[in-house]
């Protein structure tokens, strides 16, 4: 068969059987289309000047299947050359037998094609089975991770649906991603620190050896070379990584400085593990000599895993061992990694505002008040607005129940004095972060002695911890202390002079935080702004009135 474009030969002349196999091998789809009658309406290339059929369409019922294959193969070639062929020429070409058939070559080609197709099918089956196995492992590992998470918080997430299994996969993926990203940043930050410590250690050992043995520098260096079975050698051209590592190290230092004490230990552990990993990522332990040379070569393992591991390059083996050691060191901080991964996977929220049902909101309000915790600091509680600010959702989206904690606690922080609520997933709505201008609110009954303005000694640590942000008072701003009371003190109590309470707290804050007295404003609001309406509170009226006796401390812009 010849397809010409001017004087250019595009396709060589083929024999009948070779052409048939060429069509069978490359145009299986075209043959299926033609046999099914799908060739009807399939137009030839618009670039073809000579149309094979007068109407420009293929009719499977009126031509040989092989002819159809050849035509579709030609069209599928999308050649820019002119197609100069007719139906009669194609049929004659298929009926020609002027070239001897190479049966063995054709059979070998068919066997080769069959092997390729069988190999492709085996690969496809392997990929599908591997995906199924990995999916099962991920579901089981994610379920186990979730179970341990619920066990830590003594919480039952309720019923799970079939779709929640995908959540298990996402949970374990979030855990692994968080783990390796954290160790990756730790490795980058530990690289410059480890290089600095290595230089200091080498210089220190050399000086110590020279002083002790009273030998020259060269001999001390030789002692260092011969004294250790391995020496650390850093890879060259690492200036970019050193700069990036230094920036990351400063970022780590900032976080370590600002985080709470428990989470600070966690970050230091990540940095220490990263320093260990940086030795094998950015350097290499080169063997100087083997102290066990006299004992002969070590016995080779007969286990397949040992054989595989022993066949790896030494640098790869060192990196694998270093990674295993680094991961093992993080087992102590497994809970921190769980919390971080739950946060990254979206199953946990920190410091958010949550819209609750009236029943759940009242439950949180009275439980918090019983523990001396203020709900929605510096805000009045409106009957139709049941939004709880500064809360943590410890668990959501998987199962039928969620776990809420109030007030918010930073990752790794102490949970003493918090309130927990188990909620139905459909009974609350998380709609944003609670970050606002700093403001603190304290119950007067816990802050001052009974019906007076003298501060309780037991309240001073709470004031110091919750008002530490007063040291960041913006230039030109003021601090406002507002004391509130009730029209009816409740429990036979009389309303106290709120201005005296505000002034007593003002004096304490100015002395404790070193503030100028003229930058602290004291206001006695009496009962003008109740925390909430206690008219219909019923048996909870005394508790409602207790919530209304409060003191607020916040920044004020003079403008």
Phi and psi angles of residue 354, each rounded to the nearest 5 degrees, phi first = -130, 130
What is the share, in percent, of the chain residues with pLDDT greater than 70?
70
Q: 313-352 burial string, b = 16+ CB within 10 Å, else e?
A: eeeeebbeebbeebeeebeebeebbbbbbbbbbebbbbeb
Query: At residue 164, does pLDDT exceed 80?
Result: yes
Tokens of 542: 């005394």
Instruction: Give residue for tokens 């921190």.
Output: 336
Cis peptide leading into 407, omega within 30 of 0? yes
Using the Cα atoms of residue 165, residue 169, residue 175 and residue 181 in order, give the sign of their dihedral: negative
Q: Which structure tokens are listed for 286?
A: 């080169």
Q: Is residue 52 within 8 Å of residue 93, measured between CB atoms?
A: no
For the ranges 213-217, 322-326, 515-519, the lowest mean pLDDT is seen at: 213-217
Chain mean pLDDT for the chain = 75
The pLDDT of residue 87 is 42
Q: Exposed/middle/buried for 555, CB within 10 Å: 0-12, 13-18, 19+?
A: middle
Q: Which carries the bigger pLDDT value, residue 123 or residue 28?
A: 123
Residue 61 to residue 248: CA distance in whole angstroms: 72
452 CB-near residues (< 8 Å, 6+ apart): 496
Task: Check pLDDT > 80 for residue 5.
Answer: no
Encode pLDDT of 377-427 as tens digits. Answer: 888 887 778 888 889 999 988 888 999 998 888 887 777 788 999 998 888
pLDDT of residue 41: 37
Residue for token pair 């390729």? 116
44 near 86, Cβ under 8 Å? no
Which range, of 161-170, 514-523, 529-538, averages the lowest pLDDT? 529-538
Question: What average pLDDT does range 287-315 have in this prediction?
Answer: 62
In Å, what is the CA distance from 413 to each residue of 123, 174, 408?
50, 22, 10
pLDDT band at 472 (very low <50, low <70, confident <90, very high): confident
- Residue 56 pLDDT: 43
> pLDDT digit string (tens) for 126-157?
888 888 888 889 899 999 999 999 999 999 88
489 confidence band (pLDDT: 50, 70, 90): low
Digit-coded pLDDT (tens) for 176-192: 999 999 999 999 999 99
The pLDDT tens digits of the residues spanning 510-530 come to 888 888 888 899 998 888 888
29 pLDDT higher than 70: no
Give the 3-state secondary structure of residue 238.
coil
Q: How far is CA 22 from CA 28, 73, 121, in A?
A: 10, 10, 22
pLDDT of 24 > 50? The answer is no
- Domains of the chain (ranges; CATH) run 162-287+306-344 (no CATH), 347-432 (no CATH), 439-556 (3.30.1330.60)
Mean per-residue pLDDT, 82-97: 43
Give the HSE-up count for residue 553: Cα atoms under 13 Å, Cβ half-sphere: 26
pLDDT value of residue 149: 92
Lowest average pLDDT, out of 166-175, 208-217, 258-267, 295-304, goes to 295-304
Local structure of 295: helix, strand or coil? helix
Whether the Cβ atoms of residue 54 and residue 87 lie closer than 8 Å to each other: no
Joined together, the tokens standing for residue 310 give: 């022993």
Going by their DSSP bridges, the two strands 8-9 and 230-234 should be labelled as unpaired
Query: What is the structure's pLDDT at 256?
Result: 84
538 — pLDDT class (breaks 50, 70, 90) = low
- CA-CA distances (angstroms) from residue 391 to 352, 428, 450? 5, 12, 31
3-class SS of residue 233:
strand
Q: pLDDT per residue over 227-283, tens digit each?
A: 555 677 888 888 889 999 999 999 998 888 877 777 888 889 999 999 999 988 888
Say what the pLDDT of residue 486 is.
78
Give the list of residues 6+ apart from residue 428 with CB closer than 8 angstroms, or none: 354, 355, 356, 357, 360, 402, 404
Segment 38-48 mean pLDDT: 38
pLDDT for position 83: 35
Token pair belonging to 86: 């007719």
At residue 306, the pLDDT reads 67
Looking at residue 297, its pLDDT comes to 54
| Residues in the chain, overall count | 559
Q: Which two tokens stand for residue 19?
A: 């052409």
CB distance 465 to 514 below 8 Å: no
CB contact at 8 A, 523 and 483: yes
- What is the percent of the chain with per-residue pLDDT over 90, rounded to a whole number? 16
pLDDT for 244 equals: 92
Flag whether pLDDT at 356 surpasses 80. yes
Q: Which residue has the higher pLDDT, 217 or 460?
A: 460
pLDDT at 262 (0 to 100): 79
Res 102: pLDDT: 60
Contact 145, 172 (CB under 8 A): yes
Q: Give the DSSP per-residue string, 87-115.
A: HHHHHHHHH---S---HHHHHHHHHHHHH
Q: How many CB atoms lie within 10 A of CB 451?
A: 13
| Selected residue with higher pLDDT from 265 and 295 | 265
CA count, 13 A, side-chain hemisphere, 158:
14
553, 509 contact by CB (below 8 A): yes
User: What does the longest C-alpha to C-alpha distance in the chain come to?
Assistant: 121
Q: What is the 3-state secondary structure (H, E, C) of 148-190?
A: HHHHHHCCCCCCCCCCHHHHHHHHHHHHHHHHHHHHHHHHHHH
Show the beta-strand stretches assigned E in 159-309: 230-234, 283-287
In eight-state DSSP terms, residue 228 is S
What is the residue whose two structure tokens read 């087992």? 331
pLDDT at 462: 84
């Amino acid at each position: 068969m010849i397809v010409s474009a001017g004087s250019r030969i595009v396709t060589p002349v083929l024999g009948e059987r070779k052409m048939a196999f060429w069509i069978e091998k490359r145009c299986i789809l075209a043959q299926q289309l033609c046999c099914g009658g799908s060739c009807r309406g399939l137009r030839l290339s618009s670039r073809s000047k000579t149309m094979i059929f007068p109407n420009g369409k293929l009719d499977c019922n009126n031509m040989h299947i092989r002819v159809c294959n050849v035509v579709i193969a030609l069209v599928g070639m999308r050649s820019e050359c002119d197609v100069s062929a007719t139906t009669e020429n194609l049929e004659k070409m298929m009926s020609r037998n002027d070239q001897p058939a190479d049966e063995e070559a054709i059979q070998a080609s068919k066997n080769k094609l069959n092997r390729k197709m069988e190999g492709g099918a085996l690969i496809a089956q392997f990929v599908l089975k591997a995906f199924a196995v990995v999916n099962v492992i991920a579901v089981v590992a994610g379920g186990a991770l979730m179970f341990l998470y619920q066990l830590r918080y003594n919480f039952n997430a309720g019923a799970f649906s079939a779709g929640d299994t995908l959540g298990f996969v996402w949970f374990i993926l979030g855990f692994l991603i968080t783990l390796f990203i954290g160790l990756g940043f730790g490795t980058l930050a530990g690289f410059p620190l480890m290089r600095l410590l290595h230089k200091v250690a080498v210089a220190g050992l050399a000086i110590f050896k020279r002083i002790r043995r009273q030998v020259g520098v060269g001999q001390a260096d030789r002692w260092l070379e011969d004294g250790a079975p391995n020496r650390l050698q850093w890879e060259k051209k690492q200036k970019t990584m050193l700069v990036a590592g230094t920036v990351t190290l400063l970022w780590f230092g900032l976080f370590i400085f600002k985080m709470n004490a428990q989470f600070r230990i966690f970050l230091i552990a990540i940095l220490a593990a990263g320093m260990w990993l940086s030795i094998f990522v950015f350097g290499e332990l080169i063997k100087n000599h083997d102290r066990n040379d006299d004992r002969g070569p070590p016995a080779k393992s007969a286990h397949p895993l040992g054989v595989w591991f022993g066949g790896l390059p030494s640098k790869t083996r060192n990196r694998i061992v270093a990674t295993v050691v680094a991961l093992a060191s993080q087992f102590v901080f497994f809970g921190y990694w769980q919390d971080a991964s739950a946060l990254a996977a979206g199953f946990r929220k920190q410091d958010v505002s949550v819209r609750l049902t009236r029943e759940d909101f009242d439950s949180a309000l009275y439980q918090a008040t019983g523990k001396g915790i203020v709900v929605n600091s510096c805000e009045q509680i409106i009957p139709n607005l049941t939004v709880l600010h500064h809360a943590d959702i410890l668990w959501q989206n998987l199962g039928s129940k969620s776990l809420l904690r109030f007030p918010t606690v930073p990752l790794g922080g102490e949970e003493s004095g918090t309130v927990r609520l188990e909620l139905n997933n459909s009974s609350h709505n998380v709609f944003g972060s609670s970050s606002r201008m700093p403001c603190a609110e304290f119950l007067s009954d816990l802050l001052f002695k009974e019906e007076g303005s003298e501060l309780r000694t037991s309240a001073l640590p709470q004031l110091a911890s919750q008002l530490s942000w007063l040291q960041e008072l913006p230039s030109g701003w003021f601090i406002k202390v507002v004391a509130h009371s009730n029209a009816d003190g409740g429990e036979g109590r009389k309303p106290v002079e709120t201005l005296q309470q505000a002034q007593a707290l003002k004096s304490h804050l100015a002395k404790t935080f070193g503030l100028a007295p003229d930058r602290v404003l004291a206001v006695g609001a009496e009962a003008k702004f109740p925390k909430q309406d206690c008219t219909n509170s019923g048996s909870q009226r005394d508790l409602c009135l207790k919530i209304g006796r409060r003191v607020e401390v916040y920044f004020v812009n003079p403008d």
